[in-house]
Amino acid sequence: MSIRETHGEKSPSGLWGFVTDGYRPISDQLRLMLSNLDGVEKLTYIIWRATDPGKGFVTPADVGDSFMQAGGSADAMTVEVRLPGPDGESHLYTVGRPEPADGTTTLIPISQDRAVRVFSNEVFTADEAAVIFYTYYLTDAVSQPYVLRELDLSNELSEER
């Protein structure tokens, strides 16, 4: 294995660092981090392409205009991605499966007191989300068959738990 520092991360435990293959393949590392989400204390995980991997450490200021994040628990999480849009501006999207939402929603915890409501086709397990994260890690994009629903940042996106 070679340690490559191409992406930063904030782990479910709140530690900032690089996604590396120093202990296991990247795909397994991403799956492990997402599996650590417990919906109680460990609620979020985020990765992004490192803007300055040579500096050797990561801080909150290093998160760029594009990132992927998950919130919730290993059994039920939401995946969001921020990507540049056709207008050149960054947009935040919730990732979903291509099947139409059946109208039901699920409340996914993202902090001790806040949660987001997502449609049934936007709830993933850690194993499912790991595939989406690994594709983002490799390509900086969300691949087919997944669909993106743009979030309106002018509205409050979370609610009290």
The domain limits of the chain are 7-154
What is the C-alpha to C-alpha distance for residues 161 and 91, in angstroms, rounded to an integer?
Answer: 26
pLDDT of res. 3 = 60
The yes-or-no verdict on residue 148 having pLDDT over 90 is yes
pLDDT of res. 37 = 98
pLDDT in tens, 20-68: 898 899 999 999 999 999 999 999 999 999 877 677 778 777 887 899 9
What is the C-alpha to C-alpha distance for residues 145 and 43, in angstroms, rounded to an integer?
Answer: 26
Has this prediction a pTM greater than 0.75?
Answer: yes
Q: State the Cα torsion 127-81-149-143 to the nearest 10°.
A: -60
8: left (phi over 0), alpha (psi -120 to 50) or beta: beta
